[in-house]
Chain A
Amino acid sequence: MQHLAKLGVLNLEANFEEMNCKRLTMRKTQRHVCAWIALCFLVGQGCTQVWWWNNEPIPGTFRLDAQLEWNAMVTELGDVNVDHLGHTLRLDNLQMYISEMELRAENGEWEPIGDVALLDFSVLKPHILAPVPAGEYDAIRFGVGLPSEINTDMDPASYPNDHPLSVPGSAGMFWTWSSGYVFVKYEGKFAAEPGQPLLEPLSYHCGTDGSFRSVMLEFEEPLLIQSRELTVQELVFDAALALVGAADSIDIVADPITHNASGTTLGGRIMDLIDDAWSLR
């Protein structure tokens, strides 16, 4: 009896295996059909510069690579540099929000390429990636910091976690609900006297609605973005120019710190200098 029961179980198991096998075979066939349809679609679409269902031009991909420099020389966080007054310093952390990124098309209209991005220069090549309509563009503009409508009175917890303004996405870059986000963190250490170790803290945290700045840069030659092609543009931030410009300069020994959740004169000056620290390559 036991033996028969065992046989029955074995038969049931065999049936189950057979059914499972058929199910898997059907699924495989279905996947193959789908794959063929997709392949035919891609091959057909691959020959044209427009979407076949609406004749709209297929966009290209634009990548904006941020490059950190110090006095026009490529640098990295942790490198030791010398500022305009001869002070030795080391940048340990450089993060900033940029927003409302747009490219100017031939017809003068601005094409949006992104709402908000957090440029973190501890990452090897911070970049922004966006689909952009094919065409020629002659300028780029963006804001340094965040426009007031998204800076304050917004709860970081309301964003999905992969958003740059979310709780994990803005880690270390959020003050409070009323004061909003830190727009720029420019941190490091400097030597109090020449030859001394780099122990003095340099800490510029700039933010508040009044610190928002706009940058507009024109390309030397029009930037051509082609359908389905990747176009890369380098955006250079010269960290030395955040301390000295045509109209102002900052002595890091005299003014090593500003945390302007409530807005400070020094914070505003740094943001003005940062405004002019960008270039295209």
Chain B
Amino acid sequence: MMRSRQLHQQTWILWILVLACLTSCERCQEAECEGADCNPAATPYVLDIPPFFPPMDIPADNPLTVEGVHLGRMLFWEKSLSQDGSMSCGSCHLPEHGFSDPSPYSTGITGAQGLRNAMALINIGWASNYFWDGRGASLEEQILEPVSHPDEMAMPWPDAVAQLQASTEPVDYPNLFLKAFGTAEINSELTTKAIAQFLRTMISADSKFDQWRRGETSLSDEEFAGYEIFLREGGDPETTPGGQFGGDCFHCHGEAGLQFSDYLFRNNGLDSTFVNDAGLAGVTGMPLDSGRFKTPTLRNVSLTAPYMHDGRFTTLEEVLDHYNTGGVPSSTIDPFMKYTTGGLALSPVQKTHLLAFLETLTDTSFIAASQFQDPH
């Protein structure tokens, strides 16, 4: 009896504690909102995650808002973020090329060129470790670099911020920042946050393949045959246990979450040495990472030529030929490369089918979407 009364009293105390904690939690959330650069008055942007896609991890200190996304779009296309006012982010990420650059190396305002091809901006909200060598830990961090890089937009961030702060015509940036972040005081952090918000809304999910996955259309025989080659293991089963004479594409460009990339880093047998560009090893300092570069998505791949980190292949046929012959041996070449057995050895017909399948990943509604175009 005594024990029962004691338990009853303890339960009441527990309830009081729970209530106290709930009140405290509500406060914490407010405090977080104050501490971060979010504006409670801004309108939350509801991101529509397409079927079969995984959830998108959005940083807690940079939630998407309608005002933030709008500001990000203005900034993405803002040429005054370059030193001579001639380039915006969009200058190297052209919509008609799947938001990538058709030149192997992008040319900056001084005429200087980088060492790598501009990556396509497609479903980048699901990516991780940005740049070909993964040196950008977050999307926000990645955006910091091109603006101030001397071979790109060459604008020191303090100058870029001053330029935006002084801008009232034709775009009143202080007011746009006020609406998005609750402050008219512009800084580089808020600028990159806004652009990151915009980039996270750039979702491609309406290719013919997507429509087929949703049961809205059918693939042609040629396209479906290409899909099967895409999903089959490479190699002759006589020499490679498990080999299925396939394209072996799915290992790195897998369809999990319909991303067509696992966003990991691999040496796909382009070179035998890595003196000019060590790839991931340049970031980690690990010899095992030499020649390893990020696996790009295959979405809109027919629009994003040239291919590879240095844009060395101008056509998809050249890319298939590279994998078909097996690549160049090196101490860090990925085990998926079949160089020891003479490559994938796909027949010309199989290559045609594979190309037909890759074409089904083209999403013309994405590249033409009005909300991603230059608003200036």
Contacts and interface: CB of A to CB of B under 8 A. Distances in A.
B218 interface: no
B63 interface: no
A167 interface: yes
A168 B128 contact: yes
Interface stretch (B51-59, B81-89, B104-112, B193-201): B51-59
Nearest to A54: B7
Interface residues of A, number: 51
A197 B331 CA distance: 8
Contacts of A156: 54, 256-257
Interface in B250-266: 250-252, 254-259, 262-264
A170 B256 contact: yes
Contacts of A159: 54
B148 to A, nearest CB: 29
Contacts of B337: 201
Interface stretch (A27-35, A61-69, A135-143): A27-35
Contacts of A280: none
Interface string B325-357: 000011111011100100000000000000000
Interface stretch (A8-16, A81-89, A240-248, A253-261): A253-261
Contact of A168 (B54, B286, B329): B54
Interface stretch (B9-17, B275-283, B358-366, B368-376): B9-17
A172 interface: yes
B29 interface: no
Classify chain B: how many residues form its interface, as a range.
35 or more
B242 interface: yes
A170 B235 CA distance: 24
A148 interface: no
B241 A266 contact: yes
B255 A176 contact: yes
B20 to A, nearest CB: 6
In this complex, the member of A41, A257, A260 whose beta carbon has the largest number of chain B beta carbons within 10 angstroms is A257
B24 interface: yes
Given A200-B340, A267-B242, A167 B259 contact: yes
A203 B335 contact: yes
Contacts of B255: 176
Nearest to A165: B256
Nearest to B248: A259
A90 to B, nearest CB: 9
Contacts of A175: 250, 254
B11 A264 contact: no
Contact of A160 (B11, B55, B126, B340): B55
21 contacts: A34-B20, A37-B17, A41-B17, A54-B7, A78-B286, A92-B288, A155-B52, A156-B256, A157-B54, A157-B257, A160-B55, A161-B55, A167-B256, A171-B262, A172-B251, A175-B254, A189-B331, A199-B331, A201-B335, A203-B335, A258-B242
- 8 closest A-B pairs (Cβ-Cβ)? A203-B335, A167-B257, A259-B242, A167-B54, A258-B241, A171-B262, A157-B54, A201-B335
Given A199-B331, A262-B244, 19 more contacts: A30-B24, A31-B24, A53-B7, A53-B11, A78-B286, A157-B258, A159-B54, A161-B54, A171-B264, A172-B252, A175-B250, A176-B250, A199-B330, A201-B333, A201-B335, A257-B240, A262-B233, A267-B241, A267-B242
